[in-house]
Amino acid sequence: MTEALLTVRNLSVDFHTARGTVHAVRNASWSVNRGETLAILGESGSGKSVSASAVMNLLDIPPAEVVSGEILFEGKDLLKVSYEEHRALNGKRIAMIFQDPLGHLNPVYTVGWQIVEMMTAHGRPANKARARALELVTRVGIPDPEKALKKYPHEFSGGQRQRLMIAMALMLKPDILIADEPTTALDVTIQAEVLALLKELQAETGMGLVLITHDLGVVAEIADRVVVMSQGEIVEEGSVREVYHHPRHPYTRKLIGAAPGKGEIKQPATDAPALLEVRELAKSYGKFTALKDASFTLSRGQSLAVVGESGSGKSTLARTILRLEKADSGKALWKGKDLITMSPRELLSVRREIQMVFQDPTQSLNPRMSVYQLISEGWDIHRLMPDRKARRRRVDELLEQVGLLPEHAERYPHQFSGGQRQRIAIARALALEPELIICDEAVSALDVSVQAQVMALLDGLRKKFGISYLFIAHDLGVVRDFADMVLVMKSGEIVEGGPTEKVFNAPEHPYTRRLLAANLDPDPDVQAQRRQMAATAPS
């Protein structure tokens, strides 16, 4: 093999904390060549994002320390070049898409400005940059791109932000693109478009792509080679097909075995009493209608999945029900009482019964509270579990249930990986033992094995305590396995709804059909077949 464009060799990164050293990355080696796509799969918290940050020189040193290794780009060790030299490479030659798109966009500048800056920072003329920004934003499927460029990050949905981030990274046609979970918040149709865009660019410029992902479907669709990471180490490496069909490491085997979408579809219980009835709920931001007359019923013990286009108003629906946004009209009856018009007092008493896991876990965790404080706060609020020891035990238990360690309780949110934070948010929602949990893309950042574990936990709780779920997700496999009812949203409207089986097997609305068709299969061979079919099919 010739010298790769980017080679990471023996990279080890430690974090020094008050409670000891965390070995985040241990002797990781991988490389990516021009025109090649390397997928990094791995456990949540296994050091994927940290190694990407190391390549970009974004680690805070200290507390982080690069203990060993080298990062060779065109033969130069990026760990040794000067700050200024590295800066000149960043964005222009090596670009990165961050895992957590809200926090990584500057809240006080328009997204247009931020995207354009990618080019102006490297001395390109602003007018050219603007034209390219417009082109790319259109390509990633943001509606009304002209206007969108003038808006601020908080005015976009989670998936839209992620796409803006992708557009930003592609501005300068970098030689290497490191994409950290670039499609976690995208519905499958848009995901397909984005992947197509990446491929196209790759063909055009010979870009090397490092794709950090949990989605085996995405890997199957786009990657050439795979490395698998676990506990900071690389445990397996090979071509996509090789690894999928002949995994050697037990973790890899577990991972592939856990891929969702293969189980039996559940049947909704028919006799359960209604818990939440939403009637013609509507919400608009200025002139833009984000939610149009949404109506549905959620029964006790049911799990209702909401799927749909990114930006179609799923999060808005959840937030409006919870009164985080003021509804324009409509009702949301909780056990018969309207949440929308409820007095603040009454609302407060209902709060405990409905919990939410936010789409953006990082932002939803108070940075000044330790994990223990975050999880136990609900008990403080509702005066539950006065016994400190019991609390401690319960926190440890919850952490373990979501796949974290008891000792994580003393850490603060910024010391975790994206997936770990998401699990902290889930643990926090579970701590209050609510009757309804609204999960907004709650498992999107988890690798499939942890995801399976968490889903099993949620399902178990449903069976045991009759907890209901309003489950917003884009991963159709997960939805298929977990939900017994499905709503499909598009452009602020619920276009289809019904039992999972019906929606999956006999979709009515054209959008639903498109959606299902765009779903990716984790098997690379299946994906290759489909690609071929699509290519030969008459358009």
Partner 1 sequence: MIGLIGQRAIASLASLVVLMVMVFFLSRLTGDPAALFLPIDATEEMKQQFRTLHGLDRPVLEQFVMYVWDVLRLDFGESLRRARPAIDVVLEAYAWTLPLALITMALVVVAAIVLGAIAAFNVGGIIDRGISVVSLIGASAPDFWIAIVAIVLFAINLGWLPTSGVGTPWHWIMPVAVLFIRPFGLIVQVVRGSMLSALAAPYVKTARAKGVKNRPIIFVHTLRNAMLPVITVIGDQAAALLNGAVIVETIFGFPGIGKLMIDSILQRDFNVVMAAILVTAVAIFIMNILIDIAYSILDPRIRQ
Partner 2 sequence: MTDISQTNASPAELRGAPALLAMLWRDKFAFVSAVVLLIIIICALIGPVFLGDLAASQNLRGRNSPPFDLSRGWAFVLGGDSLGRPVLARLIVAAQSTMMVAAGAVFSAMTVGALFGLVAGYMGKNVSQLVMRLADVIMSFPSLLLAVVVLYLLGPSVPNMILVLAITRIPIYLRTTRAEVLEVRERMFVQAAVVMGASHWRIIFRHILPIIAPTLVTIATLDFAFVMLAESSLSFLGIGIQPPNITWGLMVSQGRPYLNTAWWLAFWPGLMIVITALSLNLLSNWMRVALDPAQRWRLESRKTGHD
Q: Does 359 bind Mg ion (CB under 5 A)?
A: yes
Cα distance between residue 195 and residue 37, in whole Å: 12
Task: Choose among partner 1, partner 2, Mg ion, none what residue 223 binds, the Cβ cut-off being 5 to 8 Å by kind.
Answer: none
Query: Residues 182, 301, 418, 434: which binds ligand ATP (CB under 6 A)?
Result: 418
Look at the block and give the residue holding tokens 């601020």: 152
Closest-CA residue to 140 (of 159, 117, 127, 122):
159
Residue 296 contacts partner 1 per CB under 8 A = no
Nearest-approach distance from CB 537 to ligand ATP, in angstroms? 28
Closer to partner 1 at the Cβ: 95 or 339? 95
Quote the CA–CA distance of 89 and 125 in Å, as a whole number.
18
Q: Is 383 in the site for partner 2 (CB under 8 A)?
A: no
Tokens matching residue 76: 């130069």
CA distance 398 to 137: 41
Q: Indicate which of partner 1, Mg ion, partner 2, none lies near residue 49 (CB less than 5 to 8 Å, by partner kind).
A: Mg ion
- Footprint (CB under 8 A) of partner 2, residues 86-115: 102
Residue 432 contacts partner 1 per CB under 8 A: no
Where does this chain touch ligand ATP (CB under 6 A) — which range of 15-23, 328-336, 389-397, 504-512? 15-23
Among partner 2, Mg ion, partner 1, none, residue 533 binds (CB under 5-8 Å by kind): none
Q: Taking CB under 5 A as the rule, does residue 158 contact Mg ion?
A: yes
DSSP characters for 224-253? SEEEEEETTEEEEEEEHHHHHHS--SHHHH
Shortest distance in whole angstroms from residue 493 CB to partner 1: 27
Whether the Cβ atoms of residue 445 and residue 476 lie closer than 8 Å to each other: no
Largest CA distance in the chain: 69
Tell me whether residue 329 or residue 529 sits nearer to ligand ATP (CB atom).
Answer: 329
Partner that binds at residue 348, options ligand ATP, partner 2, Mg ion, none, CB closer than 5 to 8 Å by kind: partner 2
Site string (62-101) toward Mg ion, x via CB under 5 A:
-------------------------------------x--
Residue 517 Ramachandran class (φ > 0 left, ψ -120 to 50 alpha, else beta): alpha
- The strand ranges marked E within 353-483 are 354-357, 436-440, 468-472
Sheet of 337-338, strands arranged across: 288-299, 274-285, 329-334, 337-338
- Contact letters (x/-) for Mg ion, 276-315, by CB under 5 A? ---------------------------------------x
Alpha carbon of 57 to those of 22, 39, 77, 182, 533: distances in Å? 19, 20, 12, 20, 42
Please say which residue, 174 or 361, places its beta carbon nearer to partner 2: 361
Query: Would you count residue 168 as binding partner 1 (CB under 8 A)?
Result: yes
Contacts with Mg ion by CB under 5 A lie at: 49, 99, 157-158, 315, 359, 417-418
